[in-house]
A = this chain, B = another copy of it.
Amino acid sequence: MPVLVMKFGGTSVATLDRIKRAAKRVSREVANGNDVIVVVSAMSGETNKLVGYVNETSPMFDAREYDAIVSSGENVTAGLMALTLQEMDIPARSWQGWQVPLKTSSAHGAARIDDIPTTNINDKFGEGMKVAVVAGFQGLSNEGRITTLGRGGSDTTAVAFAAAFDAIRCDIYTDVDGVYTTDPRITDKARKLEKVSFEEMLELASLGAKVLQTRSVELAMRFKVKLRVLSSFEEYDPNAGTLICAEEDIVENNAVSGVAASRDEAKMTLVSVADRPGIAAAIFGPLAEGGVNVDMIIQNISEEGRTDMTFSCPVDQVARAEAALAAAKERGDVNFEALVSDKNVAKISLVGIGMRSQSGVAAKMFKTLSDEGINIKVIATSEIKVSVLVDRKYTELAVQALHDAFELEKA
């Protein structure tokens, strides 16, 4: 029998009534002839409450105890979902991570999934069970301790189950009804995408479209899991939401699929760095060790053996970056005249797999921004993305102008 994975996030299971609504969606898929694996998050608010307890008790907490504590919210929802389905006469039972067992690395708080044996659950499907309800976000380490996959980890749980059980699709039910051409709060012209490729979704997810955990998209791409994002608050519609799928499943592409904006960026420039082989490693090695997530990197042309090096990072990591670079200078590993930090920038990105075959996207982007009087501070490009840093105050204006220029409101 085909297996379908359905994942319900915290807002979709926030109350007993909402759990019942979610269960009705599950029952429809069972009636359609599927065996269903339901992955649930904690009731919304629960995980935050537990994280609050942990932080108040022990600011530098033991991550193993953190995981044992915060994973309990998902266990409650899994049991309640199983009971709700049973009340609807659907044979169902719950599984906690260690019962599957969903085996992970021992990196508590951010564990990687190693293996999902299918025997236990498939045996029950064989005995007539129709729905396996799985507590998301959690797993079991080799040491026999509970691990968690990081915030949003239930998305990754769902995709991993879909891969392990060779599911026909993985439906992610959330509080938005799909992936949009841009943030609908910025422009009401934002249009829901019917389909988007894994590659585009990865860029969008990491650029601030917080619909899906980035790792879950990576995993779906690797194992070719058809992912669908849809709202648990809309009426049932078999074609609802946005399908995230392989490029070959998308017949025709616009050059640009979406505009993403990320506000919490900072730009840092090392002025007059000695330009010698190994200088990039000397700069970015210490930053990586210091836990700074460097995003864009630009090296200007060299003059008289010296150059300027600019990079961007999340704004809350500026202090960390400054400390790491000051220490490197102190040790004599790197020599620069000054470090200039600009904490008032935003990153605006155009994303689209169609860019590969259609030229002129970047040029049109720059002209559009220029026409609006928006100065571009840094440019970076990849095969399917053009990103620029601009003053943060221009975020909305830039997104609206680009959305219009590329006519993203049209399918």
Query: Which of A's residues lie within 8 Å of B, judged by CB?
Result: 16, 19, 50, 53-54, 56-58, 61-62, 64-66, 68-69, 72-73, 75-76, 78-80, 82-84, 86-87, 93-94, 96, 98-99, 144-146
> Across the interface, which residues of B come within 8 angstroms of A87, CB to CB?
57-58
> Across the interface, which residues of B come within 8 angstroms of A50, CB to CB?
76
Query: How many Å lie between the Cα of A80 and that of B56 in the bound state?
Result: 10
Q: A68-B96, A75-B69, A144-B99 are in contact. Are A80 and B53 (CB under 8 A)?
A: yes
Protomer copies: 2
Please name the 5 residue pairs, one residue from A and one from B, whose CB atoms are nearest each other, closest first: A69-B79, A58-B83, A72-B72, A68-B79, A65-B79
> Are the CB atoms of A65 and B94 closer together than 8 Å?
yes
> Are the CB atoms of A83 and B61 closer together than 8 Å?
yes
> Across the interface, which residues of B come within 8 angstroms of A72, CB to CB?
72-73, 75-76
CB-based nearest B residue for A43: B53
> Across the interface, which residues of B come within 8 angstroms of A65, CB to CB?
79-80, 82-83, 86, 93-94
Could you tell me the distance in whole angstroms from the C-beta of A46 to the nearest C-beta in chain B? 10
Query: How many Å lie between the Cα of A75 and that of B260 in the bound state?
Result: 41
Query: How many Å lie between the Cα of A142 and that of B98 in the bound state?
Result: 15
> Are the CB atoms of B68 and A16 closer together than 8 Å?
no
Kindly identify which residue among B19, B61, B75, B84 contacts A68, using a CB–CB cutoff of 8 Å: B75
Query: How many Å lie between the Cα of A20 and that of B57 in the bound state?
Result: 9
> Across the interface, which residues of B come within 8 angstroms of A144, CB to CB?
99
Query: How many Å lie between the Cα of A86 and that of B60 in the bound state?
Result: 10
> Are the CB atoms of B54 and A80 closer together than 8 Å?
yes
Task: Sample 16 A-B pairs with CB under 8 A, ordered by A number.
Answer: A16-B53, A16-B56, A54-B80, A57-B80, A62-B82, A65-B79, A65-B80, A65-B82, A65-B83, A65-B94, A68-B75, A68-B94, A69-B80, A72-B73, A75-B75, A98-B98
Could you tell me the distance in whole angstroms from the C-beta of A90 to the nearest C-beta in chain B? 12
Known: A66-B79, A69-B79, A69-B80; 9 extra A-B contacts, CB below 8 A, are A16-B57, A19-B57, A54-B79, A57-B80, A57-B84, A65-B80, A66-B83, A68-B78, A99-B144
Query: How many Å lie between the Cα of A56 and that of B57 in the bound state?
Result: 33
> Are the CB atoms of A64 and B80 closer together than 8 Å?
no
> Are the CB atoms of A83 and B98 closer together than 8 Å?
no
> Across the interface, which residues of B come within 8 angstroms of A66, CB to CB?
79, 83
CB-based nearest B residue for A56: B16
Query: How many Å lie between the Cα of A408 and that of B183 in the bound state?
Result: 76
Query: How many Å lie between the Cα of A79 and that of B68 in the bound state?
Result: 6
Query: How many Å lie between the Cα of A80 and that of B68 in the bound state?
Result: 9
> Across the interface, which residues of B come within 8 angstroms of A69, CB to CB?
75-76, 79-80, 83
> Across the interface, which residues of B come within 8 angstroms of A64, CB to CB?
93
Could you tell me the distance in whole angstroms from the C-beta of A144 to the nearest C-beta in chain B? 6
CB-based nearest B residue for A60: B87
> Are the CB atoms of B76 and A62 closer together than 8 Å?
no
Could you tell me the distance in whole angstroms from the C-beta of A197 to the nearest C-beta in chain B? 39
> Across the interface, which residues of B come within 8 angstroms of A62, CB to CB?
82-83, 86, 93
> Are the CB atoms of A58 and B86 closer together than 8 Å?
yes
> Across the interface, which residues of B come within 8 angstroms of A19, CB to CB?
57
> Across the interface, which residues of B come within 8 angstroms of A82, CB to CB?
62, 65
Query: How many Å lie between the Cα of A76 and that of B66 in the bound state?
Result: 9
Query: How many Å lie between the Cα of A96 and that of B76 in the bound state?
Result: 15
Could you tell me the distance in whole angstroms from the C-beta of A232 to the nearest C-beta in chain B? 18
Query: How many Å lie between the Cα of A64 and that of B83 in the bound state?
Result: 10
Query: How many Å lie between the Cα of A94 and that of B75 in the bound state?
Result: 17
CB-based nearest B residue for A96: B68
Query: How many Å lie between the Cα of A82 and that of B57 in the bound state?
Result: 10
> Across the interface, which residues of B come within 8 angstroms of A83, CB to CB?
54, 57-58, 61-62, 65-66, 69
CB-based nearest B residue for A144: B99
Query: How many Å lie between the Cα of A58 and that of B94 in the bound state?
Result: 15
